[in-house]
Amino acid sequence: MTAPIQVLGRPAQMWAYTSDDHTAIREVEDGHWMEFRAQGVSRAGYLALLDQLRIVSESEFDASLPDDYVTEGERTGAADLIIADIQAVSGAGFPAGTALQVADGDAKDRYQFGAEVVGQYTCAWLEAYENAETHGQRGRAQEALAVLSTSHDWPILHEMDKTGGYSEVLWQIADEAQAGQLQEWYREGLGCQ
């Protein structure tokens, strides 16, 4: 059963999934709606939490993020540093006709942002390799493989390897490409667009 309430000064509908799992959806404003869900609290506790909410500016939100987050305003600079570190090892930027695209995006923790950036770089080189193989351009295929062979030394992957499995997946895919066994699932595994 839903119950009308107020959230941040606007009408909202609240309902309980269970006695300690509640949600409220705020009335649409400027084409956007907000949902607030909490588990592990009673109805009274949930309503008390809703009363503590406040809308903040983007700069206030960014200031509240943990230190390892890359804010929207930091995305381009942080990505440039990650790519510069990779290029120092690989000796190569992006393949011709491709470029890093990170200007538009959300704040992310360093791990997720690193995966986004290194994923774009790796995907671009894997696609260059596939294209070269398809068109009999052995020199370009070898160039792509040479870049990918340096992945085990990319600083961001060593940083990420301490907290997750993305690096291992990327290294496996790069190694399989080196062995002439690039798997079809690499795009999904790396999040290629």
- pLDDT averaged over every residue in the chain: 94
pTM, to two decimals: 0.77
pLDDT tens profile 31-43 = 989 999 999 999 9
pLDDT at 62: 83
Q: What percent of the chain has pLDDT over 90?
A: 85
Residue 50 falls inside a structural domain: yes
Domain count, the chain: 2
Residue 34 falls inside a structural domain: yes
Residues 145 and 174 in one domain: yes
3-state SS, residue 108: strand
Residues 48 and 92 in one domain: no
Residues 82 and 51 in one domain: no
Residues 117 and 169 in one domain: yes
Residues 111 and 50 in one domain: no
Residues 75 and 102 in one domain: yes
Token pair belonging to 145: 């493989």
pLDDT tens profile 159-192 = 999 999 999 999 999 999 999 999 989 999 999 9
3-state SS, residue 89: helix
pLDDT, average across residues 139-155: 98
Residue 60 falls inside a structural domain: no
Residues 183 and 95 in one domain: yes
Residue 118 falls inside a structural domain: yes
Residues 6+ apart with CB under 8 A from 58: 72
Residues 87 and 161 in one domain: yes
Residue 27 gets which letter from DSSP?
P
Backbone angles phi, psi at 3, to 5 degrees: -135, 130
Q: Domain residues for 19?
A: 3-55
37 neighbors 22 (Cβ within 8 angstroms): yes
Residue 61 falls inside a structural domain: no
